[in-house]
C-alpha cells in the first residue's frame, strides 16, 4: 500500500492539516486526517517565519497519521499559499515598419518582451527577493494604440500588448522545503493553493467559464480567476475573518478567542464574559448588526480586486475557506459584482464528488484546499521541479503549470531582442524624376531547437529536454553607390542634386539622382554657326578653339563676346551660348 499512499500537508497561518489517501477508481480514498493549530504566531499572511516550530507541528501530524495507519510516511505533497503571489500588469510597445506584415513570431516575441519587463519590475520592487513566474495571461493587443483581437497579418507603425503576470517568491518555496526536510519528508509534488482548490471546487466541464475562486481565511482573502481552462490572475486582499472577530472584540470588550466563539456561534442567544468578568447575554441579531459594516467592507475589497484583474464581473464566484460562511458575504459579493445571488456559491468539502471519506471531520469549506492538494497530487504525478538544458546550461523550473520554451527563456533572462532578425532600413531616392525604393536585407531569423527539432516559443517542454537558441542576425541597410548605378544603367555621367559626384558616393535617402544621356549634344553658336563640343563634362571659353578652324593674325588680339558681353578665356560655357569672335 505504501507505494500508492498520498500524503499531503496544508500548512496554513493558524492550522496545519494532514491528509493520507490512495487512488481508487479515479477517486481519492482518504484513509486518515489530522489537523493541529500552531502553538504560537509562527506564520504571517501565509509566509513561514519560524521554520522550527512549523516543522514541529508537521512532525506531530505525520507521527499521528503513521501510528493510526501503521505505515511510514516518506514523501509529501505541498502547496504554496496564494497570498504569497505577486501580480504585475504590464504593457509594452514596439515600433515596426508600416509596410511590414506581422507574423506569429513577432507576436510571441512581443509577449516575451512584456514578461521580461514584468519580471524586471517585480524584481526591482523586491530588491534582493527572487521570484518564480507561475503564470500569465494576455489581456489585450493593440495596433497603433487601438485594441485589436489578433495582430497577425496586419500592418501598422506600432504594436503593443498588455499582460497580467504572477510571480512566487523563492523564499516561500524554500521555507516549505525546509519544513519538509526537518520533518524527514521528501517533497515529491508542489502546487499553488488556488490551483489545488480549483481542482476540486470547480468541475472540469465548467472551468472554461470565467470564474473567480475566493479563499476567505483568517488573515487574508486569496483570489484566483480562471478563464478558458487556465488561471489568468491571482491576487490577495489583506482583510478577512480576523477583521470580523476584531470588530466583535472591540464592541463587546472581549479577548480574541471569546470574540471568535461569538462570531461562529449560530445560536439565537449567546452568553459570554467580557475582559472585566461581567457576564453578557446577546442575540444573534445583535452580532449581525455589529459585523454587517465589516462584512460589507470585506466584500467590496474582494470585488474591487476581482474587477481590477478580470476587467469585468466574472460569470460566477466560488467561495471557500473558513470565513466564507460569514453572514451575508455571498449576498454582498453578488450585489457588488451585479450578478445573480445563485452565481455566488460557497463550496463545501462534503460536495466534492472525487473524494471518498465518510467522517464528518472533513466537512466545511475550510477543507477544500487540503483535499485539493492531495487530489491534485494523485491526478498529476509530476515532479515539483523539472530539469531543462538551455544552450548547455542546466536549469530547474518550478513545475506548477504546463511549461513552454518561453518559460525557459524567462528563467534565463534571455534578451527577447535576440530572437528578432530586424530587416535593414530601406533606401528611397529619385532617379530621373521617379521614386526608387531599395529594400534592406531581410536578415537571418533566430532558430529555436528542442532536442534538435525546430520549435517555437509556445512549444511545450518536459523534464530533460535540451533547448538551443541561435540568435537572429539583423539585415543590412540598403546601400548603393554612383558606380553601382553607372554599372547597372551603363551610364557614363550621373548627377546628384544637380552636381557631379565621385563614383564612390553613397546615395542617401531623398537624393535627386539623374543619368545624363551620352547622346545629348552640347553645342554653342560661334559667329552664327552651330558648333558641337565633345569629350568633356564642362567647357570654358578657350575650349571652343579646339572645335573651330580659326586663324588669328599675328600681333592681333581678337575681341571675344559671350551672349552680348565681353568674355574671358575662363568663362564657363552653357549649352546654346552665343559667341562672337571679332578680329
Question: What tens digit of pLDDT does each residue of 125-147 get?
Answer: 765 567 877 777 788 899 999 99
Query: Which segments in the chain show pLDDT lower than 50?
Result: none
DSSP 8-state symbol, 537: S
Provide the pLDDT for residue 66: 94
Query: Residue 240 gets which letter from DSSP?
Result: S
> Within a 13 Å sphere around the CA of 220, how many CA atoms are in the beta-carbon half?
19
Q: What is the per-residue pLDDT for 168?
A: 82
Please name each of the domains of the chain with its CATH number.
2-84+171-379 (3.30.420.40), 482-515 (no CATH), 522-582 (3.10.20.30)
Q: What's residue 200's pLDDT? A: 86
Cell numbers for 392, please give them. Answer: 548547455
Residue in this structure with the C-alpha cell 505577486, named with its chain if needed: 86
Closest to 412 (Cα-Cα) out of 438, 400, 385, 394: 394
pLDDT value of residue 126: 61
Answer whether 115's CB lies under 8 Å from 165's CB: yes
SS3 track for 371-412: HHHHHHHHHCCCCCEEEEEECCEEEEEECCCCCEHHHHHHHC
Provide the angle, in degrees to the nearest 10, between the axes of the packed helices 193-201 and 368-379: 90
**504 Cα distance to chain centroid:** 48
Report the pLDDT value the prediction gives residue 579, as an integer from 0 to 100.
93
CA atoms within 13 A on the CB side of 525: 8
pLDDT for residue 184: 94
CA distance linking residue 375 with residue 81, whole number of Å: 17
Task: Read off the pLDDT of residues 211-251 as tens digits, 9 standing for 90 and up.
Answer: 999 989 877 888 888 887 777 788 888 888 889 999 999 99
CA dihedral angle for residue 342, residue 343, residue 347, residue 350, rounded to 10 degrees: 50
Amino acid at each position: 500500500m505504501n507505494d500508492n499512499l498520498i500524503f499531503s500537508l496544508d500548512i496554513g497561518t493558524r492550522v496545519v492539516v494532514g491528509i493520507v489517501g490512495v487512488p481508487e477508481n479515479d477517486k481519492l480514498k482518504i484513509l486518515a486526517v489530522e489537523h493541529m493549530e500552531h502553538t504560537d504566531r509562527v506564520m504571517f499572511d501565509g509566509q513561514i517565519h519560524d521554520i522550527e516550530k512549523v516543522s514541529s507541528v508537521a512532525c506531530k501530524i505525520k507521527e499521528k497519521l503513521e501510528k493510526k495507519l501503521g505505515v511510514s510516511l516518506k514523501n509529501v505533497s505541498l502547496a504554496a499559499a496564494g497570498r504569497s503571489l505577486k501580480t504585475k500588469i504590464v504593457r509594452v510597445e514596439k515600433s515596426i515598419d508600416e509596410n511590414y506584415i506581422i507574423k506569429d513570431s513577432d507576436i510571441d516575441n512581443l509577449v516575451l518582451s512584456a514578461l521580461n519587463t514584468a519580471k524586471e519590475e517585480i524584481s526591482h520592487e523586491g530588491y534582493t527577493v527572487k521570484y518564480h513566474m507561475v503564470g500569465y495571461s494576455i489581456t489585450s493587443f493593440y495596433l497603433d494604440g487601438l485594441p485589436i483581437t489578433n495582430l497577425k497579418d496586419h500592418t501598422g507603425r506600432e504594436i503593443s500588448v498588455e499582460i497580467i503576470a504572477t510571480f512566487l517568491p523563492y523564499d516561500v518555496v524554500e521555507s516549505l522545503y525546509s519544513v519538509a526536510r526537518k520533518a524527514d519528508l521528501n517533497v515529491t509534488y508542489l502546487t499553488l493553493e488556488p490551483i489545488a482548490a480549483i481542482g476540486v471546487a470547480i468541475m472540469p466541464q465548467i472551468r472554461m467559464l470565467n470564474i473567480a475562486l475566493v479563499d476567505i481565511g483568517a488573515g487574508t482573502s486569496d483570489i484566483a480567476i480562471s478563464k478558458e481552462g487556465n488561471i489568468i490572475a491571482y491576487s490577495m486582499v489583506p482583510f478577512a475573518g480576523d477583521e470580523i472577530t476584531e470588530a466583535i472584540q472591540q464592541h463587546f470588550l472581549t479577548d480574541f478567542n471569546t470574540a471568535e466563539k461569538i462570531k461562529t456561534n449560530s445560536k439565537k442567544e449567546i452568553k459570554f464574559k467580557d475582559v472585566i468578568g461581567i457576564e453578557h447575554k446577546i442575540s444573534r441579531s445583535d452580532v449581525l448588526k455589529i459585523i454587517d459594516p465589516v462584512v460589507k467592507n470585506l466584500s467590496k475589497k474582494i470585488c474591487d480586486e476581482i474587477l481590477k484583474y478580470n476587467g469585468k464581473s466574472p460569470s460566477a464566484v466560488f467561495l471557500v475557506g473558513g470565513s466564507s460562511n460569514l453572514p451575508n458575504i455571498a449576498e454582498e459579493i453578488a450585489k457588488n459584482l451585479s450578478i445573480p445571488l445563485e452565481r455566488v456559491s460557497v463550496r463545501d468539502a462534503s460536495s466534492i464528488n472525487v473524494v471518498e471519506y465518510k467522517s464528518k471531520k472533513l466537512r466545511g469549506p475550510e477543507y477544500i484546499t487540503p483535499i485539493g492538494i492531495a487530489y491534485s497530487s494523485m491526478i498529476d504525478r509530476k515532479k515539483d521541479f523539472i530539469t531543462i538544458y538551455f544552450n548547455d546550461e542546466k536549469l530547474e523550473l518550478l513545475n506548477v503549470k504546463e511549461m513552454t520554451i518561453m518559460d525557459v527563456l524567462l528563467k534565463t533572462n534571455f534578451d527577447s531582442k535576440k530572437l528578432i532578425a530586424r530587416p535593414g532600413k530601406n533606401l528611397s531616392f529619385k532617379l530621373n524624376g521617379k521614386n526608387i525604393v531599395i529594400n534592406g536585407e531581410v536578415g537571418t531569423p533566430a532558430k529555436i531547437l528542442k532536442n534538435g527539432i525546430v520549435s517555437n516559443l509556445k512549444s511545450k517542454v518536459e523534464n530533460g529536454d535540451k533547448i538551443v537558441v541561435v540568435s537572429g542576425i539583423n539585415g543590412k541597410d540598403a546601400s548603393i553607390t554612383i558606380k553601382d548605378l553607372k554599372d547597372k544603367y551603363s551610364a557614363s555621367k550621373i548627377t546628384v542634386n544637380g552636381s557631379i559626384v565621385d563614383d564612390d558616393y553613397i546615395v542617401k535617402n531623398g537624393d535627386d539622382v539623374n543619368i545624363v544621356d551620352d547622346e545629348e549634344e552640347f553645342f554653342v553658336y560661334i559667329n552664327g554657326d552651330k558648333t558641337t563640343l565633345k569629350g568633356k563634362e564642362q567647357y570654358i571659353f578657350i575650349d571652343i578653339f579646339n572645335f573651330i578652324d580659326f586663324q588669328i593674325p599675328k600681333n592681333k588680339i581678337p575681341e571675344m563676346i559671350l551672349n552680348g558681353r565681353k568674355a574671358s578665356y575662363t568663362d564657363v560655357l552653357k549649352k546654346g551660348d552665343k559667341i562672337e569672335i571679332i578680329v
